A and B are shown apart, each in its own frame.
Chain A
């Protein structure tokens, strides 16, 4: 318990130090980013999923059952990522 009190005191001191050093500046953040390999995306163009619109869409109707297919995308490039041939198929 005494041990935990010491840990807590050290933790609060660390918090105080982190607060005093302030948030990272843009330059520091960039370095930090590279060091910690964080990824940043910024802005509506990067992050916002398409929102509402008042326009119609043209699109073909898919026949029922047609959707059960084997995916044919970049998953095929990943070792061990795709289905090994379905024996029943």
Chain B
């Protein structure tokens, strides 16, 4: 058998337990383990490596679902959507959708939204580093350029909205205290929450936004020009801008 064929049989067996026998034909039985068990060691090791990674990526979901359920879900997800790139940090993007489609979670769709928040945190942490622009240069922007002025969020900025209290569910699972933290038992799950996650240097931030700020940052993310922002936010605009720049939510600007 050629090397490509051998690798084909083996990789198929790793992500499909029913295909183990075809791969076992390639392997010697000896000592305390037969060929199928030896192939199984690799299937389990691959699933173990990816399970451990998914646990570290989705720690709140892991606690919400319980260790046993999470492990089983991880195994199933890995078989259905195995990694296709050598960069592990890219893996796991589809886990929230996987949970949302899980038969046992059809009345708990909010857990998938918590997974989306955890993925957003992972994305924010992995986004590129950027230097903040010098906003004093705005003084040199003339009236014609103002009409084409676009503000830019940090590459790490992740805006999420959910019909559930995902921010507080996340908070309740953190060891640290915070003023917004509510015990799980007291939590009002059914409330719309708008969350911003972003990274500044080596610090990862997560805040709850009010409706106006969320709409404002979303408009900026969609590259709305300054006149469009003025039209939409009117008298609120100066204060929205001031807060956003001070908190590091607006990193730079360009003239299109």
Q: Is A–B contact present in the complex under a CB 8 A cutoff?
A: yes
Give bound CA distance, A38 to B174, whole Å: 13
| A51-83 residues at the B interface, CB under 8 angstroms | 51-53, 56-62, 64, 66-75, 77-83
Interface of chain B, helix or strand or loop or mixed?
helix
Q: A67-B75, A82-B108 are in contact. Are A12 and B208 (CB under 8 A)?
A: no
Number of interface residues of B (CB under 8 A): 87
Does B71 lie within 8 Å of A62, measured CB to CB?
yes
Contacts of A16 in B (CB 8 A): 135-136, 138-139
Give bound CA distance, A59 to B169, whole Å: 29
Give the size range of A's interface with the partner: 35 or more
Distance of A45 from chain B, by nearest CB (Å): 11
| A20-39 residues at the B interface, CB under 8 angstroms | 20-21, 23-24, 32, 34, 36-39
Contacts of B75 in A (CB 8 A): 61-62, 67
Contacts of A46 in B (CB 8 A): 204
Does B66 lie within 8 Å of A73, measured CB to CB?
yes
Contacts of A68 in B (CB 8 A): 103-104
Q: A34-B179, A37-B179 are in contact. Are A51 and B88 (CB under 8 A)?
A: yes
Contacts of A78 in B (CB 8 A): 169, 184-185, 187, 189
Distance of A73 from chain B, by nearest CB (Å): 3
Does A64 lie within 8 Å of B17, measured CB to CB?
yes
Contacts of A40 in B (CB 8 A): 203-205
Does A67 lie within 8 Å of B246, measured CB to CB?
no
15 A-B contacts (beta carbon < 8 Å): A7-B237, A11-B237, A19-B134, A37-B208, A39-B205, A49-B53, A56-B41, A57-B44, A58-B44, A58-B45, A61-B47, A70-B69, A71-B66, A71-B108, A73-B70
Given A19-B134, A51-B88, A59-B47, 7 more contacts at CB 8 Å? A18-B242, A19-B135, A23-B248, A34-B179, A61-B47, A62-B75, A75-B111
